[in-house]
Amino acid sequence: MVKVVVGMSGGVDSSVAAALLKEDGYQVIGVTMQIWLPESRQFGGCCGLTAIEDARKVAYKLGIPHYVMNFREVFTDKVINYFVKEYRRGRTPNPCIRCNQHIKFGALLEKARGLGADFVATGHHARIEKGATEGRYLLKKGLDRNKDQSYFLYTLTQGQLSHSLMPIGNLTKEKVREIARDLKLPVAGKPQSQEICFIPDENYGAFLKDYLSDAEKPGPILDERGNIIGSHRGIIFHTIGQRKGLGIATGEPLYVIAIVPERNAIIVGPKEKALADELVASELNWIAFDKLTHPLTTHSKIRYRHPEAEAIITPLGEDSIHVKFAQPQMAITPGQAVIFYDGDTVVGGGTIGYTAKPGTTKMDNRKAVKSYG
């Protein structure tokens, strides 16, 4: 019997994933990862005490073993420290991508293989298929386009994909809930968590202040000409494209168009200045092929909820590419991920570094903003 470890978050998706695998004849072991439990405050999310209890109830209902495994140290090292470091640099990271890469399909998969399991499984809305001709494992969008999570999984390697299962990828969210109700699972009506699991109440500032002694370091808000038009309480509280919360009264809406950490400055401008049609990305991972060797037209996504846009991607070196969009995109944000699609197949992706405004040739935003005064 094929053994599979299911990462059970206490939610309906991972619970139904475990149920479907058991129904298909797998030897299922449920594991809830204890990755974040601050001593200073009660923690919820996908790995807190409530999640553990909900996962345990589901496992009991399904008649499968359930274990809680401590991944706090690796989570702190690979996710928390990365998150804090990126914000200090004036960038906006995506910790869910990092967690999938290093925790769920990294440390958990390694633990599962050590226990003799053939696979690790999750409740992600995405699909893994083996290509008919090239023999590569492919990552595809989930059937439910409103819940598709392939964006967060672009870092998966061929080795990780070959030992991973995503049983609900061919189901809509409503169908998942219907199965949970039919099986009388105790989490059938549990709402889906939207926030980052380790940020209580989505209060990024409060969280970062626990790690950065200079988090609330006031600095200038500058216009494009370098004039001081306001002040901010810390660059960690701002991101590219932000309009609200600037505390500036002007005749037109202003948006954050650049963050300059070495000057502790925020640069603002009108909406059109928040548009860019080029970027450079690095920390690349390719799924559909081994390496990008020539320009390729793709549909690219610069944020999870951002619509895909046609773009040409061109290799620049061993680990960087140039992305040229057919139309300018709003608030391309350094630190976020850009994912490339061919239809419903994930070609690959990388981390956004620098951008260029429409009609310019500059690819280094940091050089551009130094001229602001």
* CB environment 173-192: b (16+ within 10 A), e (fewer): beebbebbeebebbbbebee
**Which residue, chain included where needed, has tokens 């050089």?**
367
Provide CB contacts within 8 A for 300, sequence distance 6+: 308, 309, 310, 311, 313, 323, 325, 338, 339, 340, 341
Q: Residue 200 in contact with residue 41, Cβ under 8 Å?
A: yes
Question: Cα dihedral angle (185, 188, 191, 192), rounded to 10 degrees?
Answer: 80
Q: Residue 182 in contact with residue 175, Cβ under 8 Å?
A: no
Give the DSSP letter of residue 303: S
Provide CB contacts within 8 A for 179, sequence distance 6+: 16, 19, 20, 171
Closest by Cα among 309, 301, 312, 310 to 352: 301
Is 96 annotated as catalytic? no
HSE-up (13 A, CA, CB side) for residue 210:
14
Distance CA(336)–CA(86), nearest Å, equals 10
Label the pairing between strands 265-269 and 219-222.
parallel
* The one catalytic residue among 46, 47, 96, 99: 99
Question: What angle, rounded to 10 degrees, do the helices at 49-62 and 12-23 form?
Answer: 20
**277 — phi, psi (to 5°)?**
-120, 5
Distance CA(259)–CA(365), nearest Å, equals 9
219-222: strand order across its sheet: 228-232, 219-222, 265-269, 255-260
Give the DSSP letter of residue 26: -
Residues tagged active-site: 99, 197
